[in-house]
Structure 1
Amino acid sequence: MYLVVDFVPVAHSKCVCAHQMIDTVPGPEASAFAVQLKALLDQEVRYQPKLTGLRLIESANDNGLRMTVKLREIEVKDLLSLTRFFGFSAETFSLTVNLLDRFLAVMKIQPKHLSCVGLCCFYIAVKSLEEARNVPLANDLIRISQNRFTVSDMIRMEKIILEKLYWKLKGPTALHFLRLFYAFVTERVSDRSQALNLDRLEAQLKACHCCFAFSKVKPSLLALALLALEIQEQAEDRQPLIDAVQDIQLRLSVKDGDLVCVRELVVKCLSEYSTAKCSRQNSQRLRWIISGRTARQLKHSYYKIAHLPTIPEAAS
């Protein structure tokens, strides 16, 4: 059942991660690829946004009263800028998007509340994954992102998000699968100079996160499509890598048609991303407003902000 989110008074609460949450499985040194993959796949479906809720967003009219695809995409791009501003990890951004999509898929929210929902999802991800000393104050987040709500509003909204997601936060994202698949195929490359560029792949994934269409795609399939496309376009000696991708595809039980379909979506997304229309500054770009105290605490590099990250060229 879908509900309308409103700011209702609740007791003061603080985000505390559930002990049962699983971020990822042990590293390659502890488990074989098959074991790691099975552990991620066993959790994947439980952390996916509900398709029925996503379809409601797709069908919504842009009348200012309901959540729309456009509003969601603008919010995610702003959250990516905020992630880069603080120098937070790709894991933090991927988790932020997962939390946001899952929440929007089970709750009908008014557009005026989206910025609070998005910032709360970001804050939950930051507190879950970043070092405690790097976690900013909620008041600084509000000031930097130039929002009008209060810390109390964030506290109430954070509690709603945690309850509606049943405190199931750190599930597998496309980034987990992408890194696992990358490690698997890289082992097939004898000449390390021909290895794929992981930074480039992660930048492409961030661009895909900003596109609503991929909210409906399984993280494992999105990661496989990104990898397959990169091998086709960038790798010189492709056959060992193609064999590795086919091996992964077989393990995932992914049909050829499904993989081709998602690859085409990725191509379209990256093509649109690279156009001047997508890269130029626009009215949705965040205007960073910070206090002198906050400015002194931030690294100099944080001020070099781009709305979306540049996708690195292929490794030479």
Structure 2
Amino acid sequence: MIDTVTGEACVPFAIQLKALLEQESRYQPKLSGLRILECAHDNGLRMTAKLRDFAVKDLLSLTRFFGFSSETFSLAVNLLDRFLAIMKIQPKHLSCVGLCCFYIAVKSSEEERNVPLAGDLIRISQNRFTVSDMMRMEKIILEKLYWKVKAPTALHFLRLYHSYICELLVANEKPAFNVERLEAQLKACHCSFGFSKVKPSLLALAILALETQEQQLHEMAEVLQSLQQHSNIKDGDLFCVRELVAKCLAEYSSTKCSRPTGQKLRWIISGRTARQLKHSYYKIAHLPTIPEATC
């Protein structure tokens, strides 16, 4: 189980970071498989990067609907990318694969009492496969991933980096950004296939670097450089990914972007379906935009 904690009585930052970095490469999607997906033509017969992005946006909407954690969403995306990178699936099976990856992540990250029934998930997403189909697909996914579920995601690195910064700087020097805003930016990046090929540690540091640049937090320069050195990240790689993050966030914030906040959710439930669901489930809601930076 991968957890990052802070505080004097907890595991030191360097040890936590080393543990995450050692596991990072073992839980990365296979690059050769991602390149095949990236080059695939949209003919309705093959999986494409565009279809993957649509599936991830649906997972983000489901995360919002149930009020699940950022950790659940990031893990679901990791599982989906790893599976798509090693298996050639038809587009018609993507909804089942995506929902199973989400369900695996939910059962791994959320409290047992908050885990929904598989049948409820199917009804909410308005899919036509059965619970038995979903259970069979879940078994296939777990077997193909060698039952390696708990992955070190970019979210783990982002939270660890953020806690390190907050502990290192004195109170009057603490940065003007908060972890909720950074996590919202990460979620937007997860919706873009290009970041599936980026190491989680690099993506997390690039988000931090962009935020400090935009807010002109010059006092953060040495801290970021220290994090970069500890994480063995090259200057050129950080610069390149930081620019990609900036482009992604600009597109995500634009009115032209087909993000979940700007369109009707594909799986809006009917009144009849809603009455069949547990009363504890949240009502469908639009996804929030990325919070403005605090001044």
Contact 1:184–1:244 under 8 Å retained in 2? no
Contact 1:48–1:102 under 8 Å retained in 2? yes
Cα distance in 2 for partners of 1:271, 1:180 equals 25
For residue 203 of structure 2, what is the aligned residue in structure 1? 222
Q: CA deviation at 1:81?
A: 0.2
Structure 1 unaligned segments of length 5 or more: list them: 1-21
The alignment status of 1:61 with 2:44, answered yes or no, reads: no
Cα distance in 1 for partners of 2:5, 2:180 equals 22
Q: CA deviation at 1:293?
A: 3.3
The alignment status of 1:170 with 2:150, answered yes or no, reads: yes
The alignment status of 1:151 with 2:131, answered yes or no, reads: yes
CA shift in 2, pair 1:116/1:133, >3 Å: same
The alignment status of 1:270 with 2:249, answered yes or no, reads: yes
Contact 2:6–2:163 under 8 Å retained in 1? no
For residue 292 of structure 1, what is the aligned residue in structure 2? 275
Q: Which moved more, 1:39-48 or 1:186-195?
A: 186-195
State the Cα deviation string for residues 18-43 of structure 1 (Å, max 9, x = none).
Answer: xxxx2225544321111110010011
* Length-normalised TM-score, structure 1: 0.87
CA shift in 2, pair 1:277/1:99, >3 Å: same
In structure 2, the residue corresponding to 1:257 is in which secondary structure?
helix
Residue 218 of structure 2: which of 219, 239, 246 is its match? 239
In structure 2, the residue corresponding to 1:100 is in which secondary structure?
helix
For residue 9 of structure 1, what is the aligned residue in structure 2? none
Contact 2:118–2:131 under 8 Å retained in 1? yes
Cα distance in 1 for partners of 2:4, 2:252 equals 32
The alignment status of 1:190 with 2:171, answered yes or no, reads: yes
Q: CA deviation at 1:264?
A: 0.7
Task: Write the letter of the residue equivalent to 1:191.
Answer: N
Q: CA deviation at 1:286?
A: 3.1
* Length-normalised TM-score, structure 2: 0.93
Q: CA deviation at 1:171?
A: 1.4
Q: CA deviation at 1:232?
A: 1.0
Contact 2:166–2:174 under 8 Å retained in 1? no
CA shift in 2, pair 1:108/1:26, >3 Å: same
Q: CA RMSD in A?
A: 1.6
Contact 2:4–2:156 under 8 Å retained in 1? no
For residue 89 of structure 2, what is the aligned residue in structure 1? 109
Percent identical: 66
Q: CA deviation at 1:94?
A: 0.2
State the Cα deviation string for residues 103-154 of structure 1 (Å, max 9, x = none).
Answer: 0001000000000000000000001111111111111100001111110110
Task: Write the letter of the residue equivalent to 1:297.
Answer: S
Q: Which moved more, 1:223-232 or 1:276-285?
A: 276-285
For this pair of structures, how many residues does the alignment match?
289
